[in-house]
Amino acid sequence: EVQLVESGGGLVQPGRSLSLSCAASGFTFDDYDMHWVRQPPGKGLEWVSGISWNSDRMGYADSVKGRFTISRDNAKNSLYLQMNSLRAEDTALYYCVKDGPVAGTGDNWGQGILVIVSS
């Protein structure tokens, strides 16, 4: 069974940094691209960032480009998101997502981790 478990969320002040982690199990991690998708409370989904299976390609939403950095450690079956210069509008539930049957889709999602940016 695929499991994706996010950690590292919490309350942080504007302008500060936070790092999210996602521990993956139940599948061959280094066979798949991975993504972060977020959802502000009561609102819709926003793709944040993605990384290819071998880390040779990464993509970012315009809203986070230059502030967030995605990475992975295939030896540890883990995905990361380093978030710098956080803003109130980054407040959201952050999901770790495994690439699906076609690259760019998400067929397995974590339960999400809440990040609140507030003074």
Partner 1 sequence: EIVMTQSPAALSVSPGERATLSCRASQSVSSNLAWYQQKPGQAPRLLIYGASTRATGIPARFSGSGSGTEFTLTISSLQSEDFAVYYCQQYNNWLYTFGQGTKLEIE
Would strands 113-117 and 10-12 be described as parallel, antiparallel, or unpaired? parallel
**Nearest distance in Å: CB 62, partner 1:** 6
CA pair distance 77, 93, nearest whole angstrom:
22
Query: Would you tell me which residues interact with partner 1 (CB under 8 A)?
Result: 35, 44-47, 50, 57-59, 61-62, 95, 100-107, 109-112
Question: In this complex, which beta carbon is closest to partner 1, that of residue 21 or of residue 52?
Answer: 52
Tell me the closest approach of the beta carbon of residue 116 to partner 1, in angstroms: 18
By C-beta, is 29 or 95 nearer to partner 1? Answer: 95
Task: Write down the least CB distance from residue 23 to partner 1, Å.
Answer: 16
Cα–Cα distances (Å) from 84 to 7, 18, 30, 117, in that order, read 17, 7, 26, 11
DSSP single-letter state for residue 34: E
The residue type of 116 is: I
